[in-house]
Structure 1
C-alpha cells in the first residue's frame, strides 16, 4: 500500500471523530432479547413463559408474533415481567464497571403501538415505557445508545426470530411497510430529541440485516433516502442545525412541536427555496410526518413529555443545542447483486454497520489458523471507506466458532477481533448476556460478553487486549491489509 493511499485511508477513518455526540471509539454490547426476544438465547425462560422450542417457528409458538397470537389476554403482562428482569440496574452497573460506553438496543416497530394492525399483527404492548426506563438508567451511568430498528413492519428477513415474526415471505419490502417504517422513524427521532430520557441516543439504525441479495429487496434504496430525509425533517423543524441542509424557521412560529410539525407537513417548497429543503420535505416524508403527529400527541400525554406540547417546557434536551442524530445503515457490502449505496442517502452525519460471524460459515475454513489469518488481514474498513461507507463500526460479532475452541484460542480470538474492528469506529458485541441454565448448556461461553469477562476472554478495559501482537504471525507478508 502506497504512502498516499495509506494517508488517504487514515484521513477517511478519522472522519468518525466528527460525529458529534458519538463516542470517539465505540466499545459496546447489544441488548439482544430484551425488547425483541429471541428464544434461542433464553430457552428455559421462553418455555416458562409459555413458548415452544425445537419447532418450526413460523407455525409453533417460537416468535413474539405467534406468542401474542396464542396468549392475547396474558401476553402483555408476561412480556412486561421479562422486560423488567432481563435488563436491570444491576446489568447497567456491570456495563459501567466494564467500561462499556455504548449499547445497541434492538427494537421492533411495535414499540410504537399505533403502527400495529391488531386484527392481523400480534405483538406485546408496553415496551416504550421499558425503553424509557432503560435509557434513563444507561444515561445516568454515562452510556450512549443506538436505537436499532431490528424488526421493521412486515419482517425483513426469512424465518428469523429477530424479525419478530418467522415467515418465509418477508413483507417489509413494500410501499406500505416502508411507509410505516418512516412513521416509526419520525416518532423515534422526535422522542430522541424531546424526551429527556432519550438524551443519550446518538444514532438510529434504519433496518437490521436486510436480505443480503439486493434483487430481493426492491425499493430499499428509495427507503434509505426517505429514512434520512425523515430524520432530518424532524430536526429541521426543531431548529437543529444539520450539516448540508438549510435551516427552516417559518414552521417554528409555534412552540408547540406538533403544530410546527403540522406546518412542515404542508410545506410546499417553491423554486426559490433551497434545494436541500425541497429534497428533504418530499411528499412521502410529509405523509410520514402527518401520520406521526397524532401518535406523538398520544405519547406526549401517556409518557408525560411536556416538550412535545411546549418546546420551552421543563428541562428537555432541546433547550441546549442538540446535535443531529447519526443516521445508520448496514454497509453497502452487506448486500450483493448491485445494492444501493447508503452513502448516497447521507444528509448530515451518517455511520455504517457490518456484522461478522464466522460460526455460520462462508468466511474462513473451520480451523483456528484459518480464522486468525482471516481476521488479522481483514480489509472491510478500507473497502467500505473506498465507497463512502465511513465511519464503519461492527455492530454484531461474537466468539462462536465452527470447531471446538479451547479457552486459549478464545482469548486470542477475542483479541484479534477487537484489534480488527477497532481500526474502524469501534465494535458492539452480540450479546451482553444469554441465559445461564441447564437447558442453555454452555451457550454463554461464546455468546455472552458478561460471561466472557468472567472467564477472562474479554479484558476488563474494553480498549485493551491481552496480547497486542496476537496477529503478528498471521499478517500477510508482514504487512497488515486491515
Structure 2
C-alpha cells in the first residue's frame, strides 16, 4: 500500500481549498452586499515558471484558479486589483502574508527584483490578452514592504522598473494613452503576429530605452506567456488585438508607508497610477487602546491630504478592519466602522480585509471583527457599502486628539 504525504499532496489540497474558499456563492454574496471592487492577494508562485523547485515549495494550479475566479467576478461586474502580496524572496520578516514566515528577507536583491519584474510583465499581458482578466484595472507592485526604508535597498529603482515593464508590455500590445510616454515612435504590435513576438522584439527596436533588468523581464515573460497560452487550464489567444484598451493602473503602497527617507513612488509615474494605504488599530502605534482615542484618531485622519501633498493621489485604503486592542462592544464597532468609511472615502475608496475568514474554535470569534460578511450580518457594516448607520458619528470628535502610543 502506498500513502501519499506532503509534498506529494500539496497541489490537491490547495486545489480543494481554492474550489471551496471562493466560488459562485461568494460572488453572489459580494453582489448582494454591493461590493464593486476586490483586491486579490497573489503569490509570485502563481507564475509557476518563476519558482525554484529545489528550494521553494509552493502549490501548482493557482493561475487556473485565479482565471476561474476572475471570470466569475467579470460576469458579476466586479473589478479587480491584482496585488503582488508575496513577491519572491519574502518582503518582510516573520509575516505569514509573505507565503514564507521567515526572518530571511531576500526580496530586496537583484535576482528577486528581476523575478518580480517578470511576474509583472506576465500579469500585465494576461490582463490585456486573456478574456477572463477583463475586470482587472490595476496591478499592485508589492504588498507592505518593510517600513524602514533603510532596510529596502534598491526599492525606489524597482518601482521605476515596475512601471516601465508594465508600459513596455502595453506598448508592445499597441496600448497607449495621452498620459503615457515611452519615447516610442511606432505602433509596435502592428509589426508582429502575436504578443510574444512583440514583447520579445520591443527591446531590440528601442536600443537604450530599457535597462537590462527590464529587457530580461520582457524576454523571460514572452517565453512564459507562450507556455501559458498553450496550457489547457489557462489557454488564451496570444494573437488577439488589444485595440481600444487603456493602460492599467500601476499601484504602490504610498510613500508614507515607509520612514527614514523612503523613495516616493510618484517619481515612477508614467501613465495612470494609484496609491495604497493600510490602517489597523489592533497592532498598536496608532492611538491609545480606548474607544475615545480610536474615534478621535480616525475622525481626524489626515492621510489622504498628507499623501496628496507628496503627489500620492489618488489614494485608496486597500486594507482595514474592525479589530481592536480592547474588548469592543457591538455599538462601538458600528460607530468605528462608520467613522473609518467616512475617513477613507475622502480618498478613492476602501477595501476591507477580508471578505471572510476561517472560523476557528481555538482562535475564538475572530470573524466578528475581521470578516466583512460577518460585519454585515451583525450590522456593524451597512448592507449598502456607501451608506452609514450614523453619518454624523464623527461630529463629537472632530478637531479633538488623544495621546497616541
TM-score by length of 2: 0.95
TM-fit CA distance, 1:283: 2.5
- Whether the 8 Å contact between 2:144 and 2:253 is mirrored in structure 1 is yes
1:400 aligns with 2:323: yes
> How many residues in Structure 1 have an aligned counterpart in Structure 2?
394
Q: 1:373 aligns with which of 289, 292, 296?
A: 296
TM-fit CA distance, 1:255: 2.6
In structure 2, the residue matched to 1:26 is none
In structure 2, the residue matched to 1:294 is 223
In structure 2, the residue matched to 1:244 is 180
2: CA distance, partners of 1:304 / 1:124: 16
TM-fit CA distance, 1:293: 1.4
Structure 1 SS opposite 2:295:
helix
Q: 2:153 aligns with which of 218, 227, 231?
A: 218
TM-fit CA distance, 1:287: 1.1
1:168 aligns with 2:103: yes
2: CA distance, partners of 1:261 / 1:370: 53
In structure 2, the residue matched to 1:134 is 69
1:74 aligns with 2:3: no
- Whether the 8 Å contact between 1:251 and 1:263 is mirrored in structure 2 is no
1: CA distance, partners of 2:374 / 2:234: 38
1: CA distance, partners of 2:329 / 2:277: 27
1: CA distance, partners of 2:78 / 2:220: 32
Structure 1: runs of 5 or more not aligned: 1-69, 271-277, 313-317
In structure 1, the residue matched to 2:162 is 227
Structure 2 SS opposite 1:266:
helix
1:353-376 CA-partner distances (Å, limit 9, x unpaired)? 000000000000000000000000
- Whether the 8 Å contact between 2:87 and 2:116 is mirrored in structure 1 is yes
TM-fit CA distance, 1:252: 3.1
- Whether the 8 Å contact between 1:194 and 1:305 is mirrored in structure 2 is no
2: CA distance, partners of 1:181 / 1:260: 21
2: CA distance, partners of 1:428 / 1:203: 14
1:424-475 CA-partner distances (Å, limit 9, x unpaired)? 0000000000123423421100000000000000001100111010000000
Root-mean-square deviation (CA, aligned residues, Å) is 1.6
In structure 2, the residue matched to 1:307 is 237
Q: How does 1:47-446 map to 2 (within 5 A)?
A: 71-242=6-177, 243-245=179-181, 246-247=183-184, 248-250=186-188, 252-269=190-207, 278=209, 281-302=210-231, 303=233, 305-308=235-238, 310-312=239-241, 318-319=242-243, 321-446=244-369
2: CA distance, partners of 1:450 / 1:403: 22
**C-alpha distance 441-304 of structure 1, shift in aligned 2 (>3 A):** closer
Structure 2: runs of 5 or more not aligned: none
1:19-49 CA-partner distances (Å, limit 9, x unpaired)? xxxxxxxxxxxxxxxxxxxxxxxxxxxxxxx
1: CA distance, partners of 2:252 / 2:141: 6
TM-fit CA distance, 1:262: 1.6
In structure 2, the residue matched to 1:33 is none
Structure 1: 4+ residue segments shifted above 6 A: none
2: CA distance, partners of 1:305 / 1:346: 32
